[in-house]
Every structure is written in structure tokens, then in C-alpha cells.
Amino acid sequence: MDLDALLRRQNGVLSLDQARACGLSDRTIERRVAAGRWVRLHPRVYLVSGYALDTAGRIRAASLWLADDAVVSGPAAAYWHGMLDRLDGDVDATIPARLHRSARPGVRIRRRDLSSVDRCRRRGLWVTAIPLTALETAARLPDGAAFLDRALQRYTSFADVHAAYNRMLGAHGSARAGRLLRAAADRANSEAERLLLGILREGGVAGWVLGHPFGPWTIDLAFVERRLAIEFDGWAWHTDRDRFVSDRRKGNALVGAGWTLLRFTWADLTERPDRVLAQVRSALKRAA
């Protein structure tokens, strides 16, 4: 192993085992530490003179100290994935529940067993996978809602984040993560509404009403005279059983009252808009 190449790749940080693999003896390492040429950051982890300890170096140093049992998590993982431009505060690391490690300055440790799908190898480190990273980071940041929205737009899908949420239920931060996830789902429903209106307007279809009251419910979009109801199958019902049940009761009541019901998903609106428009036109024609 070439020492200089290793240091360039690892932001000037290395472990005792790596130094030994580069051919350095323990005595040589101790002399360099005593002379101030190497600075001990954590037990068996060093920063070599000539390198400034940057954010990536802090994260790598924490990971090297905890070894492969640890997974960088939270905002530190978001920084490592490129989802955050900066990291304020400590480096978070998740270790298996069976291990006992005391936190060190600059490193916060949480004990929890992660599923294999919730961890990945990125640039030489174990970090939480992007869906879990998005949730845990959102739960930690003051502007967590804005961060989660950006993550869903750029880095991951709602389905994957929802699955990660199900696996983290009961863990620290899961309650706030759930609230943020449901809020993101509601915002997605508003965006779905905007997309559908655009499809209808571009197709020359008019006569619809938004939020039409029907019994104890509200129809997302209705052609009242034709008794055609359109509902968005957004994301929120995946995390809210009561909402799921209410939506299905509303659908049954609409059909029972002689309405035609169309349900569209986010994928329908974004990937198959022509099919959506054709289905709406066909339903309106039949209703006429």
C-alpha cells in the first residue's frame, strides 16, 4: 500500500492498521506522533501534518475508529452522499446493538441493528443508504421538511423512503420522521393536482370543480353534471391507515350514488399523461 496515495485518497487521515500495511513500524508511528507530525484524532486514527482536517476527514476518521461495524448516519451520511453542502455538528454513527462504545468528542454514537438494505458502501465507507439518510437527516434538521422535499425530488423515491420509515419505526427520531413524511405526501398530492389540471387544460377539457363536497368527504376533482369523480392516489395513505379506509369508503359511496370514479397515481400523471387524458375524455363521453 502506498502511503502518499492513501493519504491523498483519505483526506490525510489513516488508521494504525493502514499505517502498518504501508510498512511503518509502531515505533516509527509513535515517533511521528511525539514529534507532532501526526496528530491522534481517535484511538488508532491519525491526521498527518500538511493536511487540514476538513469535513470529509472528520467523517472518515470517525469511521476508521469505529471500523466496519459502524455505519455513518444522519447529516454526516447526507454530506457523504452529496445531499448536504456542509455538516454542522458531530458525526453520527450507528453501531450494532450488541456493541458498546463510548462517544468521543465530535462523534455521536447510536446503537441499532440496521437492515442490509439500509446501509451501503460509498467511497470506502459504510454509510446509511439514501432513503434512510433522507429520513434521519430530515428528523435532525430545523428545516427538515425542505430537506426531505429536495431529497424526494433529486435522490430517492417516496416508496423507498416509506419502506425505510417502516423499518425504523420505534427508533430514535422515527416520530418526527413520520410527521415529515406525511407532510411531504400531502405536498405531493397538491403537486399531483397541479399536474392533472395541466393535462386537462392542455387537452382542452373544462367543466371540472376542485374539492367538490360529497357527504362527509371532498372529491379531489369532479365533473359534477356528468357525475365523474377523479381521485389522486397520492402517497399519504401509505402511512395513514385511517386515511386509506376513508378514501375507500368514499369511493364505494360515490359508485353507489351513481358516480363514475377514476383514480390516478403519481406515475400515471408523470409517465402516462396521454392515457390519463384519454381515460377522462372516454368517461365524460360515456357519462354524456
- Please give the pLDDT value at position 263: 93
Query: Average pLDDT of 120-135?
Result: 96
Cα 65 off chain centre by: 26
The rounded mean pLDDT for the chain is 90
Tell me which CATH code domain 188-287 carries: 3.40.960.10
Domain boundaries, the chain: 1-53, 69-172, 188-287
Residue 72's DSSP bridge partners are: 93, 127
Q: Report the C-alpha gap between 230 and 228 in whole angstroms.
A: 7
pLDDT 10s digits, 17-50 = 999 999 999 999 999 999 999 999 999 999 999 9
pLDDT 10s digits, 161-170 = 999 999 999 8
pTM of structure: 0.70
Cell, residue 238: 401509505
Q: Do 1-53 and 188-287 show the same overall fold?
A: no
Specify the fold of 1-53.
Answer: Arc Repressor Mutant, subunit A (1.10.10)
Closest CA to 130 of 108, 170, 158: 158
Say if residue 118's pLDDT is above 90: yes
Using an 8 Å Cβ cutoff, are 41 and 61 in contact?
yes
Using an 8 Å Cβ cutoff, are 254 and 214 in contact?
yes
pLDDT 10s digits, 82-91 = 999 999 999 9
